[in-house]
Structure 1
Amino acid sequence: MNLQPLLDAPLAVQVHVAAVLPASVLGAYILLNRKGTPVHRLLGKIWMALMVITSLSSFFIHEINLFYGFSPIHLLSVFVLVGVWRSISAARAHNMRAHKATVIGMYFGGIVIAGLFTLIPGRIMNTVVFSGGPSWILLLTLIAIAGTLLLQQRLASRRI
């Protein structure tokens, strides 16, 4: 891995990656753990904010210019913004089935599928992930996971 292409990238790309990396780890953590707890609600709010930042920042990224600076990938950003609104509305209405379906769709559509598109040859993340150098992204991911676990432990100890 080589972070230099990311460090040389436009600010919008850097903001986008800085929001989506913790969102990917945090989202997986939330999806795999107990729902409805105060910790779930807090981490969910943080995840939603990260997803909004990720989506909004994508509108300033125009590497693939198919239609006035935008590409079909930008449709995923619209999907995520609508999904944030729908999932919050569903949770407030106590419609957990709709909330769950929307969040899972946002995670897999907005992070997993969109993330796979970033690995296409010629894209910045392809160069970051598949070129030589230290594995900084792996290190940052491990730090994010450890931070999330510490936050959960701290919040859980306050509840007792």
Structure 2
Amino acid sequence: MTLHWIAATLALLLGAWQLARPKGGLWHRRLGWAWVIAMAITALSSFGIYSAMPLFGTFGPIHLLSLWTLICLVIAVIAARRKQLGVHRGFVVGAYLGLLGAGIGAFAPGRLLGNLVF
């Protein structure tokens, strides 16, 4: 759970920084790779967290988002390497918005963070 939270927070901060800064160049690529790694760790570590609404074993709807996030990251990296910047931008922004949505959902009533904070 700690690894998931740290990676998600890092991805949230790096993603905001990347979206606010000029695109292209060495720092965009370096921070982009850091963001991709943080997002991948966030998604992969979610599979070790039990779902409150299991669909298959201990996995629930949020795990489908994690799987989709991993797919989006692969597509975004391939698109960037192929200079398909519109595709890259769409999948990166979409993955970041998914991260924001999952983060907001984590604070919902009845969820662990929601119970801790409220």
**Normalised by the shorter chain, which TM-score bucket?**
over 0.9
Number of equivalences: 117
Q: Which amino acid aligns with 2:47?
A: F
**1:114 matched to which residue of 2?**
102
Between the aligned partners of 2:60 and 2:105, the Cα distance in structure 1 is: 12
1:58 to 2:50 alignment: no
Equivalent runs, 1:62-77 vs 2, <5 Å: 62-67=50-55, 68-77=57-66
Q: Which amino acid aligns with 1:120?
A: A
Check conservation: 2:53, 2:61, Cα contact below 8 A.
Answer: no
Q: Select 1:42's aligned residue among 23, 30, 46.
A: 30
Q: Which has the higher contact order (CA 8 A, sep 6+)?
A: 1
Q: Which runs of 5+ in 2 are unaligned?
A: none
Between the aligned partners of 2:52 and 2:103, the Cα distance in structure 1 is: 15
**1:30 matched to which residue of 2?**
18
1:126 to 2:94 alignment: no
Identity of aligned residues (%): 38
> 1:65: Cα distance to partner?
3.7
Between the aligned partners of 1:60 and 1:114, the Cα distance in structure 2 is: 16
TM-score, reference length from structure 1: 0.70
Between the aligned partners of 2:110 and 2:116, the Cα distance in structure 1 is: 11
**2:7 matched to which residue of 1?**
19
Between the aligned partners of 1:119 and 1:104, the Cα distance in structure 2 is: 22
**1:91 matched to which residue of 2?**
80
TM-score, reference length from structure 2: 0.94
> 1:64: Cα distance to partner?
1.3
- Cα RMSD of the aligned pairs, angstroms, is 1.0
The list of structure 1 runs, each at least 4 consecutive aligned residues, that deviate by more than 3 angstroms after superposition, is none
Q: Which runs of 5+ in 1 are unaligned?
A: 1-12, 131-160
